[in-house]
Structure 1
Amino acid sequence: MDFNDVVPFFETHKRGVIATRRSNGATHSSIVVCGAYEGNAAFVSVYPRSQKIRNLRRDPNCTVLAVRDDWRGWASVEGQATLIDYHNTDAEEMRVLLRKVYMACSHTEHPDWEEYDQAMIDQDAVIVLVKPERVYGLVR
């Protein structure tokens, strides 16, 4: 199984969990709204100082799990995360990318893009892209 096998699943099931490693080696799990974006599992974190983002800055290895609402199907993507934020990306490029990732994860237009753009700036949003290294699951 490779990522192309689970892209349709990630495109239709946005509820997920990311597992990262704490500094002591323990697993940290956090719920996310996820999707597929340009060959990666993706989500946006609006809390750049969250535990998951701190963990990923230290160790980019992680697993993103997308699940069906009825729990009868799931897909996991293991890989290394790339963190994209306003500190390493041009502001206009970040605005465009945030909108694209929003669409990939929500599958809908935001009702007020200007409000969304400002909220992402105010909250110092971080985009997380996970490059698939291992993919598995029960996709139906």
Structure 2
Amino acid sequence: MTQASQSGTGTDETVARIEDLAAASGGLVVLNTIAPSGEPHSSVVNAGVLRHPGTGEPVVALVALGGSRKLRHLARDPRAVVVFRDGRRWTAVRGTTTVVGPDHPHPAVAPEALPGLLRDAYRAAGGGEHPDWDEYDRTMAESRRALVLLPLDHVYGNYWPVQS
């Protein structure tokens, strides 16, 4: 068992650790944002690891409903923590998010690339292959879903590989 705190941890080992915990939990994580009061705001979401579309670096990726409280919080203060866990094993990722979506354009992402990135996030978060990608794309567009990206700048937790 290891307790670790690392900075600039987009390493293969760190990505493998996060992917292991994401798979063990079905992609369910706790996302913590900062409410206007300064208090933490937590919600359970699905997340996984993708390559950032602008930098190519590994990032935690999740999809958020357009206009949601979490997106309003991140627009005001982009700092967040995502916690992956499986039993007593856990890993937290803390950093400054980037939001990409119809209401959050990003210079590195063409608007027509967003549906593919949302699909990639769905897969990375444990969703696998959706039974109807056209329906998925329509739903994402209608609800103005956005991609939230969190770099692996500061990763810490209590993690050990499970022996099979």
| Counterpart position of 2:150 | 130
**Structure 2 equivalent of residue 92 of structure 1:** 112
Distance 1:73 1:84 in 2: 30
Superimposed CA distance per residue, residues 25-71 of structure 1 (whole angstroms, 9 cap, x where no aligned partner) = 111011110101111011111x2222111100110011011111xx2
Gaps of 5+ in 2: 1-5, 52-57
Q: Secondary structure at the match of 2:128?
A: coil
Which residue does 2:3 correspond to in 1?
A: none
> Is contact 1:80-1:132 (8 Å) kept?
no
- TM-score normalised by the chain length of structure 1: 0.90
**Corresponding residue for 1:63?**
81
* Displacement of 1:91: 3.6
Query: Shift of the alpha carbon at 1:120?
Result: 0.3
Mapping for residues 69-108 of structure 1, pairs under 5 Å: 71-87=87-103, 88=105, 90-106=110-126, 108=128
Is 1:7–2:29 an aligned residue pair? no
Alpha-carbon distance in 1 for matches of 2:45, 2:116: 21
Give the match's secondary structure for 1:19.
strand
Q: Percent identity?
A: 33
Relative to the length of structure 2, the TM-score reads 0.77
Alignment RMSD, CA only? 1.5
1:6–1:139 CA contact under 8 A, matched in 2: no
- The Cα shift of 1:132 comes to 2.1
Shift in Å at residue 72 of structure 1? 2.1
Which has the higher mean CA deviation after the structures are superposed, 5-14 or 101-110?
5-14
- Alpha-carbon distance, 1:3 to partner: 3.6
